């Protein structure tokens, strides 16, 4: 399949894993950027061992969804780093945090949460609806990025799609229910506008990926992904990082995104959300 949308900007890291300044410029302008070949066989194998452990009970926040219309299931786990040693190793010992830190250009980098997502072969209904990550978070500030690593080769058919520049106006949209976008999300902020329909979205960016490539996007960037109708697994491991301007705002949210110690208007760093670079 050729790209049905516009091609997203892609860059390679320097030999010292540095990020080209053009990649940071693309992220700031488009709201998303692709970094090629960020993780090689060693870190990908570590993540695979982590997946095995997460799926075999280590992750306490794991959902496995199998719809009657699909042959394959859809699994996702949030915030498992404290329980899964291999995820911890990747987050704290690889160059992952350095990439997040460079992209955010922040003085301080805080780990928000990790997210594992596996769309097994023939899980066509496991589509990710158009949404904005930030509308699920009890956070003010714009220094939030999602660094999402492909664990399999991902062709255009099942690749993520982004609304180019949708982060720029700083408009927060109403959170969407992932299980059924026609239902109201339980923590939705009803005063916020609905995500624009596809016909109003302007340029859509996408790219195909090899295992080890990374997509990084801003938490205000509107994006979606199709289900997996192919005969190959489509898995990803992502980490959401916070930079300098992020503070807790007290909005209702899932437990994953909050901690009892948080105070409105203050930074959220604590044992659950540790500072990893400063
Ligand atoms: O990979 C996907 O299908 C969706 C990922 C996503 O939208 C997210 O992590 O916010």
- Residue 195 included in any domain: no
- Residue 194 included in any domain: no
* pLDDT at residue 231 tops 90: yes
**What mean pLDDT comes out for the span 47-61?**
96
- Residue 181 included in any domain: no
* pLDDT at residue 202 tops 80: yes
Instruction: Calculate the average pLDDT of the chain.
Output: 96
- Residue 45 included in any domain: yes
Nearest CA residue ID for atom 10, ligand 1: 133
- Residue 257 included in any domain: no
Say which residue the tokens 């990020």 belong to: 19
Question: What is the domain range of residue 95?
Answer: 6-128+142-168+202-245
Q: How many structural domains is the chain composed of?
A: 1
CA angle 27, 33, 35 (to 5 degrees): 130
Instruction: For residue 179, name the pLDDT band (cuts at 50, 70, 90).
Output: confident
Q: Is the CB of 225 under 6 A from ligand 1?
A: yes
Q: Is the CB of 269 under 6 A from ligand 1?
A: no
- Rounded distance, CA 163 to CA 13, Å? 24
Residue 65 burial by CB count (10 A; 0-12/13-18/19+): exposed, middle or buried? middle
- Rounded distance, CA 246 to CA 133, Å? 14
Query: What number of other Cβ atoms are within 10 A of residue 158's Cβ?
Result: 22
Whole-number Å distance, alpha carbon 24 to ligand 1 midpoint, is: 21
- Give the CATH number, domain containing residue 77: 2.60.120.620
- Residue 116 included in any domain: yes
Q: Is the CB of 224 under 6 A from ligand 1?
A: no
- Residue 1 included in any domain: no
Q: Is the CB of 223 under 6 A from ligand 1?
A: yes
Closest residue by Cα to residue 163 from 195, 189, 191, 193 = 195
């Amino acid at each position: 399949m050729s790209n049905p949308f516009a091609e997203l900007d892609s860059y390679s890291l320097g030999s010292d894993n540095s990020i080209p300044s053009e990649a940071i410029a693309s992220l700031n302008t488009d709201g998303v950027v692709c970094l090629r070949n960020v993780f090689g066989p060693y870190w990908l194998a570590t993540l695979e061992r982590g997946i095995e452990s997460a799926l075999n009970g280590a992750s306490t926040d794991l959902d496995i969804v199998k719809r009657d219309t699909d042959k394959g299931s859809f699994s996702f786990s949030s915030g498992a780093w404290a329980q899964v040693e291999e995820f911890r190793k990747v987050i704290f010992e690889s160059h992952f945090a350095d990439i997040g830190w460079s992209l955010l250009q922040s003085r301080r980098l805080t780990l928000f949460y990790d997210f594992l997502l596996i769309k097994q072969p023939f899980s066509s209904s496991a589509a990710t609806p158009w949404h904005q990550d930030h509308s699920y978070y009890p956070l003010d500030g714009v220094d939030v990025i999602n660094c999402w690593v492909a664990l399999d080769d991902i062709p255009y058919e099942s690749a993520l799609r982004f609304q180019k520049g949708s982060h720029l106006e700083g408009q927060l949209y109403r959170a969407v229910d992932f299980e059924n976008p026609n239902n109201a999300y339980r923590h939705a902020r009803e005063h916020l506008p609905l995500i624009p329909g596809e016909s109003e979205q302007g340029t859509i960016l996408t790219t195909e990926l090899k295992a080890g490539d990374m997509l990084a996007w801003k938490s205000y960037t509107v994006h979606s992904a199709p289900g997996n109708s192919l005969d190959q697994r489509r898995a990803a491991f992502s980490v959401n990082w916070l930079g300098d301007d992020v503070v807790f705002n007290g909005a209702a949210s899932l437990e994953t995104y909050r901690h009892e110690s948080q105070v409105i208007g203050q930074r959220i760093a604590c044992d659950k959300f540790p500072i990893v670079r400063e």
